[in-house]
Structure 1
Amino acid sequence: MTDERREISAEDVCILIPTLDEAATIGDVVDDFQELGYTNVVVIDGGSTDDTRKIAHEHGAQVLTQSGEGKGQAVREAVSYIDVPYVLMLDGDGTYDPTDAETMLEPLARGYEHVIGNRFADMDDDAMKALNGVGNRLINRSFRFIHGADYEDILSGYRAFTVDSFNRLSLDSDGFTIETELAVECVKHGVETTVVPVSYSARPEESETNLHPIKDGGTIILALYSLAKTNNPLFYFGSLGVGGIAAGGAIATYVLWRWLQYGVGHEILALVSAAAILLGVQLLMFGVLSDMLVTLHREQRRRLEQITRNARDQRPANESDRAFEYEDEGSEQRDE
């Protein structure tokens, strides 16, 4: 992040709205943004069976139908069509407040590359069920523990980001875990990220959710753990290694107890115990080595990015110097 502040106009921002059967709310969402001056509204639809696409088009949005399935695939496909530097992304269910757009975009003007809207800062009492609230907080704590960053609300669908930073991320999630993957990739690639408070309202009665708290929550937790493989390998392989050592130790304790208590030997269980402990130790060592490699890679990437930034900062001055030299040479030739 730099101290220099940039001016972001409405023409520099694309409002990106992934949808699936949001006919009840999408028209109002598009209208609200256009009234605020954001006329570049892109709705990418995942094959709605209602009138979502028709309504969005009638209200002035550019409508795309995604070629694949899932919110993650829709977002990646839509960003590839965007030709402005900034994206403000939100769901089309009417739960996010368009008037928070300035709050979301302001950090980008200060040099941040990714902004997350914290729903818990101003949430309606009936906006989230108790089970969903518990699950969200559990997921946020798990993210903080596994990936070492506190983004407060990693499942928030209200995001603002630069297209350049998005293109640096290695995203392959096709479903609703896209928000989780975005948060992990921001940590992994050192994307300057901040969190701002936003309002979060209850869904209108006529709008139905596509999420299933228990099933989807479990999927997100598994995604957090799986993504630790490349972002925090010491935790990923270390936890597997500790699990193997603990399991082998428990079996070994049982075998020893049976031999001391009854004089009964369990050769096969003893071999299983030894194998589990050996595998656990190897995984733990592999986790340590992987963590060293990831740390080295991040340091090298930071250095390369710094060199690139320095070269970019110096280029205009050098180019202008050459322009002056060329102009002087031309003047001398004309004088002759």
Structure 2
Amino acid sequence: MREAVAVLPDNGSTTATVDETRTEEHQLDISVVMPCLNEEDSIAICVQKAKEWLERSGYRGEVLVVDNGSTDRSRELALAAGARVIEEPRRGYGRAYLTGIPQAQGKYIIMGDCDDTYDFTNLEPLIAPLRDGYDLVVGNRYAGGIRPGAMTWSHRYIGTPVITFLLRTFTGARLGDSQCGLRAFTREAYQRLGLHSTGMEFASEMILKAMRRRLRVAEVPIPYFPRVGEAKLNTFRDGWRHLRFLMLFTPAYVFTVPGLILSLLGAIAMATALLVSRGNADAWPHWPAVFVGPMLLVVGINALLLGLAAHLVASSKGITGEGRVSRLYRRQFSLEAFLGAAGALILAGVGL
């Protein structure tokens, strides 16, 4: 088991979304929450495995299935297997969890897909770190063993490693598999996270916010098996949703810092060109700097503007809190101010 310890500052506020009215006497030990969309071939197997593990382990628990608009017999089979079923007709991986997790009655909550890719017969490795004081435990399929045919090559060698690398870079979390869907966390941790994402990016949001809220995050090896039934993942759509979320959630890394660097380099190049041209119009680096400097400056300024736009969009959608930048923008800037600044820049360019 490994702990992720690096932290980023948090400018947002949390929203408690789990029902806090339940008393300790009536609270269950564990809730296993499974989103379900047309999984009639595997849902009963997964529910039975989870219930058997709960009984064998001696925990007071429940299996909660969130039916995400299934058109097959998934709901009926889940009920027959002993699960509590909640309806969420609006499609979305994250939306199913946002509806189901607040209804969970356990002190510890385990989330996992009901396509039989995860081993619900042994969930103790996920619970043990929580009892030791961790807030969130994430499975690592690479460390636990990915069985032949369980994951496409594009997800195994490109998609998941790239997203994991970006999350490690942006948060410092020492995770080897940021996209594993088998996770466990405490009710209190979920209340602090304040999650909003309705799609597959829900998994990335959980990691990012856990680090920003200074939660203790652990990683444990888990096996990963070939799924039963038809896969629901869309490589390009879901991959883009992850990248889009990361760009909105971390504009400083994606836009602002690169924009500042490029703008500075462009300004230095242009200043160098002006100084050199006074003494010798043909001297290097006058001509290269004349072309390179403005390009770097334009790209840098556009990156800074994109960073501001990403921050404002993320703030308006509730992905991040309203920080100092967005508050300053709303108080001080208007359409007229931007038009005036644009006019001044045009005049300055003509003058140069």
Per the normalisation by structure 1, the TM-score is 0.70
- Matching of residue 203 in structure 1 with residue 220 in structure 2: no
Distance 2:304 2:110 in 1: 46
Which secondary structure state, in structure 2, belongs to the residue aligned with residue 42 of structure 1?
strand
Question: What CA deviation, in whole Å up to 9, does each residue of 1:229-270 have, x standing for no partner?
Answer: 4xxx4665213333555677899999999x969x99xx9998
| Matches of 1:203 and 1:140, distance apart in 2 | 22
1:222 equivalent among 244, 248, 260: 244
Q: Are 2:46 and 1:29 equivalent residues in the alignment?
A: yes
Given the superposition, is the C-alpha separation of residues 47 and 250 from structure 1 closer, same or farther in structure 2, using an over 3 Å criterion? farther
Larger RCO (alpha carbons 8 Å, 6+ apart)? 2
The Cα of 1:279 is off from its aligned counterpart by: 6.9
Alpha-carbon contact 1:146-1:225 (below 8 Å) kept: no
Q: Is 2:151 the partner of 1:128?
A: yes
| Aligned with residue 191 of structure 2, among 146, 150, 167 | 167
Q: Determine the structure 2 residue equivalent to 1:328.
A: none
Structure 2 residue aligned with 1:69, among 87, 91, 98?
91
- Choose which of 108, 120, 141 in structure 2 pairs with 1:119: 141
Deviation of the 1:66 alpha carbon:
1.4
Following the alignment from structure 1 to structure 2, what is the Cα–Cα distance between the partners of residues 240 and 277? 4
Distance 1:106 1:219 in 2: 32
> How many Å apart are 1:226 and its aligned residue?
2.1
The alpha-carbon distance between structure 1 residues 49 and 199, as it changes in their structure 2 partners (threshold 3 A), is: same
**TM-score, reference length from structure 2:** 0.67
* Aligned residue among 218, 232, 239 for 2:258: 239
Does the CA contact (< 8 Å) of 1:238 and 1:283 recur in 2?
no
One-letter amino acid of the structure 1 residue matched with residue 260 of structure 2: G
270 and 48 in structure 1: CA distance in 2 versus 1, 3 angstrom threshold: same
The alpha-carbon deviation at position 193 of structure 1 amounts to 0.6
- Across the aligned residues of Structure 1 and Structure 2, the Cα RMSD in angstroms comes to 3.7
Contact 1:15–1:40, Cα closer than 8 Å, also in 2: yes
CA-to-aligned-CA distance 1:170-191 (integer Å, 9 cap, x gap): 3110111111100101111011
Name which of 217, 224, 228 aligns with 1:193: 217
- Fraction of identical pairs, as percent: 27
In the TM superposition, residue 210 of structure 1 has moved relative to its aligned partner by 1.1
Partners of 2:226 and 2:117 in 1: CA distance: 6
Q: Distance in 1 between matches of 2:304 and 2:239?
A: 31
Question: 1:168–1:271: structure 2 CA closer, same or farther, 3 Å change rule?
Answer: same
- Runs ≥4 in structure 1, deviation > 4 angstroms? 243-257, 267-284
Matches of 2:293 and 2:214, distance apart in 1 = 46
Partner residue in 2 for 1:14: 31
Closer, same or farther: CA 53–244 of 1 in aligned 2, 3 Å? farther
- Structure 1: 5+ residue runs without aligned partners? 2-9, 285-293, 298-336
In structure 2, the CA distance between the partners of 1:238 and 1:269, relative to structure 1 (3 Å rule), is closer
What is the CA-CA distance between 1:82 and the residue it aligns to?
1.9
Cα offset for 1:83?
Answer: 2.5
Query: Is residue 141–residue 223 contact of structure 2 (8 Å, CA) maintained in 1?
Result: yes
Residues 276 and 165 of structure 1: CA distance in aligned 2, closer, same or farther (over 3 Å): same
How many residue pairs get matched? 271
Q: What does 1:175-186 align with in structure 2 at a 5 Å threshold?
A: 175-186=199-210
> Could you give the per-residue CA deviations for residues 2-59 of structure 1, whole angstroms, max 9, x where no partner exists?
xxxxxxxx94000100111111100000011112235500000110111111110111
SS of match in other structure, 1:37: helix
Which ranges in structure 2 are unaligned for 5 or more consecutive residues? 4-26, 56-60, 308-320, 325-352
Q: Are the equivalent residues in 2 in contact too, given 1:244–1:280 (CA < 8 A)?
A: no
